[in-house]
Amino acid sequence: MRFDRGTDLLVWSLLVLNGIVISVLSEILRRALHRRDVDRNLLTNVVGGTSDAIYVKDLKGRYLLANGAAASYLGRPQAEVLGRDDLAMLPAETALAIGKLDQEIIASGRTQTQEEYLVNQSGERILFQSTKGPIYDPSGAVVGLFGVSRDITKSKLAEERIQYLAHYDVLTGLPNRVQLDERIQHAIGQAADGGQKLAVLFLDLDHFKDINDSLGHSVGDALLVALARRLRGIMRADDMVARLGGDEFVFLLQGVDVGGLAQTAQRILDVVEEPFSIEQHELTVSGSIGIALYPDDSGDLEGLVKCADAAMYRAKQNGRNRYCFFTAEIEALTVRRMQVVSALRHALEQHQLTIHYQPQFSARDGRIIGAEALLRWHHPLLGQVSPEEFIPAAEDSGLIVTIGEWVLRRAVRQMKAWLDEGMAPFVLAVNLSTVQFRHPNLPAMVATILAEEQLPPQYLELELTESGAMHDPPAAIAVMDQLHEHGVRMAIDDFGIAYSSLSYLKKFKVYKLKIDQSFVRDISADPEDRAIVTAIIAMARGLGLRTIAEGVETQAQLEFLREHGCDEIQGYYYSKPLTAEQFGRFVHEVEPCAA
Ligand SMILES: Nc1nc2c(ncn2[C@@H]2O[C@H](COP(=O)(O)O[C@H]3[C@@H](O)[C@H](n4cnc5c(=O)[nH]c(N)nc54)O[C@@H]3COP(=O)(O)O)[C@@H](O)[C@H]2O)c(=O)[nH]1
């Protein structure tokens, strides 16, 4: 006998709308099975076409109907399933759990949908979403149970994975930004109610990029994973450490004793500094930490992370491998820095940058033998901004690459113009930021500019700070070798403050050491500075390098340097940095000028 018209419609709905298959099938079974005239063959054909398990059981749990999918989950041919109960076909634990659920449904008299597990005879654990309901006879007595079960194992796993990815960092397994946000929101609520303080610590590794660049990303990743494990190991149960991305980690410490925070921060730094052994590399890294407090520094999540980030930046500026608490002064500096970076983005196109030139003199006869190009920035609102302020901002924002290239081109063009005008030849020194020096395109860029501006390379000298060269000596050697091949000279700037290793110094293709002005300043009064300067000059001689002293302001300084064999002098004693025009006049007026 056929189903009635309503049931036909439901069957079509079943075929068309897979998404609502469970509820449709439940309805078919409910209607069809309590009719005496049900055509079991037709029913079997209909339900046999779906991948959902469809079944009917009597009150003793014996299968009266099971489609192909149900039989396959039970691990038996369809014919063997009929008349058997779950206990005969499934491991006892699973069968009993299913039986318990079935009995609850029969007892309640209601159709219910819920998740249930089945462990089949092969031990495979399958998660179903099952809709089950009682079947009544015409007198209204419950005579059995029908069920439609859908295997949701894969979709559940996918859902769990999505949930995991939304809340955890894939690389380290630490909570991610989303989870941190949720935890901070919650913690702020609790702290506000209990009048407690919270601390947010922002940790950023020092020079982590260099590890990625020099040893590869797999080493960098392994280091982050190992570090995450260490950091998690030192956290109290209530605290949290999350990875924001890259080498940035944020700690949320609840119920803090502000007095003990410095110790906690130092403990984190100590843990970071312990050596890592990764792929045959013994690596030591350090980190910088910024600390912000709730409610003192900010009352909201974004503000706390921003304050901690700003304090971390200050810790880096103060020399790295240290922690720093957020203060009002840092807030003012952060605002100023943002203004500077934002204004600097337009400085080039708005022609606010110029170059000044400071002459360099032979210590022996006072003749001009060189000049240093020094960048100047005048902003219409900020006024004259010191390079000591804007160069670090340009480095951090990456703007230094474009600005540095502009400086080099302008300086080279100016030098070529002076030579073409007939000015007596000298060497023009241009500063290279460490960021520029690490840029893989640097040697090619220098060569291109020299070729395009038609300046022979012997007129150009590039100054790199000692700390920039010593940070990754093997990489520095490679870049210096390439520049040397292009015929460009290198000088080490600010020499004496970064404790150069002599063995590396010997391998650097450098021509000159520039003695840092901090040693020159007190040379007349400070015996230690005198000893250092004397030692630098002697060492440079031994290595066949020239020396130049910067920041020379007095006759006494000049005489000391001259007596001890310093080759070149730069400083206000002779001249401040000059505009290109002033420099041209200066050279014509002063030269030849014996001191
Ligand atoms: N990467 C780049 N760095 C640059 C560039 N232009 C400048 N800088 C660096 O900025 C720092 C500050 O530079 P500046 O304010 O120009 O100061 C230089 C001189 O003006 C100053 N100086 C020179 N003689 C004296 C002196 O007798 N007394 C005194 N108090 N200061 C003096 O010293 C600075 C020279 O610096 P150095 O390069 O170390 O020789 C500075 O670190 C610049 O390097 C740029 O284009 N790119």
Check: CB of residue 360 under 8 Å from CB of residue 566.
no
- Provide the 3-class DSSP secondary structure of residue 380: coil
Same domain, 385 and 524: yes
The alpha helices in 206-257, defined as continuous H runs, are 208-215, 217-233
Determine, yes or no, domain membership for 332. no
pTM confidence score: 0.68
pLDDT at 506: 86
Same domain, 368 and 251: no
Same domain, 470 and 547: yes
For ligand 1, atom 11, the nearest C-alpha belongs to: 388
What distance in angstroms lies between residue 506's CA and the mean position of ligand 1's atoms? 26
At 534, which CATH number? 3.20.20.450
Alpha carbons 133 and 106: distance in angstroms, whole number = 7
Which of 157, 190, 212 terminates a domain? The answer is 157
Considering only CA atoms, which of 134, 77, 90 is closest in space to residue 116?
90
What distance in angstroms lies between residue 486's CA and the mean position of ligand 1's atoms? 26
Same domain, 112 and 218: no
For ligand 1, atom 4, the nearest C-alpha belongs to: 431
Considering only CA atoms, which of 520, 539, 540 is closest in space to residue 530?
520
pLDDT at 301: 87
pLDDT in tens, 66-87: 999 999 999 999 999 999 999 9
Alpha carbons 371 and 415: distance in angstroms, whole number = 10
The alpha helices in 34-77, defined as continuous H runs, are 40-48, 68-74
Which residues in the chain show pLDDT less than 70? Answer: 1-46, 498-500, 591-595
Same domain, 439 and 527: yes
Q: Which residue has the tokens 């991948």?
A: 51
What distance in angstroms lies between residue 496's CA and the mean position of ligand 1's atoms? 16
pLDDT at 40: 58
67: CB partners within 8 A, 6+ apart: 44, 47, 48, 50, 53, 54, 55, 78
Which tokens go with 179?
């989870």
pLDDT at 470: 84
Q: Indicate the number of domains in the chain.
A: 3
pLDDT at 463: 97
Same domain, 397 and 503: yes
For ligand 1, atom 14, the nearest C-alpha belongs to: 387
Tell me how many degrees the CA angle 570-435-504 measures, rounded to the nearest 5.
70
Alpha carbons 175 and 524: distance in angstroms, whole number = 58
For ligand 1, atom 42, the nearest C-alpha belongs to: 388
Q: Which domain holds residue 415?
A: 340-590
Same domain, 72 and 146: yes
pLDDT in tens, 157-215: 999 999 999 999 999 999 999 999 999 999 999 998 888 899 999 999 998 987 887 78
What distance in angstroms lies between residue 436's CA and the mean position of ligand 1's atoms? 17
Same domain, 463 and 538: yes
Alpha carbons 279 and 290: distance in angstroms, whole number = 31
| Whether the predicted interface score ipTM is above 0.90 | yes
At 102, which CATH number? 3.30.450.20
Which tokens go with 65?
């109907």
- Provide the 3-class DSSP secondary structure of residue 403: helix
Which tokens go with 488?
């460009």
What distance in angstroms lies between residue 484's CA and the mean position of ligand 1's atoms? 24
As beta bridge partners, residue 410 has: none
pLDDT at 265: 97
Same domain, 425 and 321: no
Residues with CB under 6 A from ligand 1: 358, 372, 374-375, 386-388, 391, 404, 407, 431, 433, 463, 493-494, 550-553, 570-572, 577
Neighbour tally for 491: CB within 10 Å: 25
Burial class (CB in 10 A: 0-12, 13-18, 19+), 234: middle
Check: CB of residue 58 under 8 Å from CB of residue 83.
no
